[in-house]
Amino acid sequence: MNRNGTRKEPLKFILAAMVLSVLLATVGCGSRKQAPPPPSVPEVAVVTVRPEPVELTTELPGRTSAYRVAEIRPQVNGIVLKRMFNEGDEVKAGDVLYQIDPAPYRSALANAEAALSRAEANLPAIRSRVGRYKELVPDKAVSQQDYEDAAAALKQAEADVEVWKAAVETARINLAYTRVTAPIPGRIGRSNVTEGALATAHQPLALATIQQLDPIYMDVPQSTAELLRLKGRLKTGHLDRNGTNQKKVLLVLEDGTTYSKEGTLQFQDVTVDPTTGSVILRVVFPNPQGDLLPGMFERAVVKEGVNRRAILIPQQSVSRDRKGDPSVLIVDAGDKVQPRMIEIDRAIGDKWLVSSGLSAGDRVIVEGLQRVRPGASVKIVPFEAAKPK
């Protein structure tokens, strides 16, 4: 009791009761669980499969080779007097390349011509004698044997004339061969002989080599497996190869740039190389500036044909299982995710060409693959491809 005669105990009890009620209210609120929000439907971006015509190409490596090659060899023996070209120059057919010493061949020609003249000079007298003997044989003024001997001598003289005519022609040809000329137009390489060297007819070492580089060949090996696959697709109608445009070939240079001029597929070899199991495709390219040289390693883009109902999907939509088999996730009619195994033919740009597993109207998930599982409901938005810069 205080000095005023009042008690503090009732006031303490009231304060304690108020604190206890507050604590009980707090514990009660904490024990009640809040209701969770409804789950959200994941959003995915899809592309709708629409078959479209696509021109299919195959990129094959190959090497260039000269359109024509001529190895220059002498056809007569002699000393090389002069080289009449600059190494690396363009030459025309008929240009004189080397001059072999012509003196011995001029002499041989003169001898043959003299012998021919001598044979022709004897011929009229013998022919006249035969004519006279023929008239005298009936009168018995000349024996039959004398006439036959004269006739035989005439035939021999005529044969001698023909022999020396041939000798003159041979000597003239050999004299012409002392001027070694270019058989084809093109670019001539380095010379293997100098002035004063001895040239031998048909020697194994060429004096020089001429290569025609415009146009130029490119030989491209194609595997027989690829060839059979292509023929099968053409036979079943998956590819359309009508039109001369299918023979046009593009060329990708070693630095990755595309050659400015298109080539033409000339022929396909009929013999398979047993070491590589491939056949050779020969392509002809224009080469007016001489940018392509023999032996260069390039890549040819050969047109296979047109797939009229090709199915293309973005590469990012395809995943692979442990075995490496490709698959995609599609959205069915009920907006639920379903897995689909597919077969891929090849890459075309940033897309895959699908050979089987998808059909027109299928909705393939491209973005949001990590947020969904098969059987889950999803919300669909159209896929927007990144624009090339």
pLDDT of residue 230: 72
Q: Compute the distance between CA of residue 378 and CA of residue 334 in angstroms, rounded to an integer.
A: 9
pLDDT of residue 362: 92
In angstroms, the first-to-last Cα distance of the chain is: 93
pLDDT of residue 4: 47
pLDDT of residue 31: 45
At 269, phi and psi to the nearest 5? -65, 155
Question: What is the pTM (predicted TM-score) of this model?
Answer: 0.68
pLDDT of residue 175: 96
Helices 103-136 & 144-177 angle (0-180, nearest 10): 160
Domains of the chain: 45-53+309-382 (2.40.420.20), 56-66+212-307 (2.40.30.170), 76-101+178-205 (2.40.50.100), 102-176 (1.10.287.470)
Q: Which segments of 68-197 does DSSP mark as H helices, in order? A: 103-136, 144-177
Q: What is the mean pLDDT of each run of 10 residues along the chain (389 residues)?
A: 48 56 50 56 90 87 94 95 94 95 95 93 88 83 84 91 95 96 94 94 94 93 81 66 70 91 86 87 91 92 84 92 91 91 89 91 90 88 71
Q: Compute the distance between CA of residue 385 and CA of residue 368 in angstroms, rounded to an integer.
A: 14
Q: Which candidate, 106, 50, 35, 94, places its Cα nearest to that of 70? A: 94
Whether 61 and 39 have beta carbons less than 8 Å apart is answered as no
Residue 184: what residue type? I
CA dihedral 41, 46, 50, 53 (to 10 degrees): -170
Q: Which candidate, 294, 41, 345, places its Cα nearest to that of 186? A: 294
Q: Which candidate, 219, 285, 281, 223, places its Cα nearest to that of 251? A: 285
CA dihedral 136, 138, 143, 145 (to 10 degrees): 110
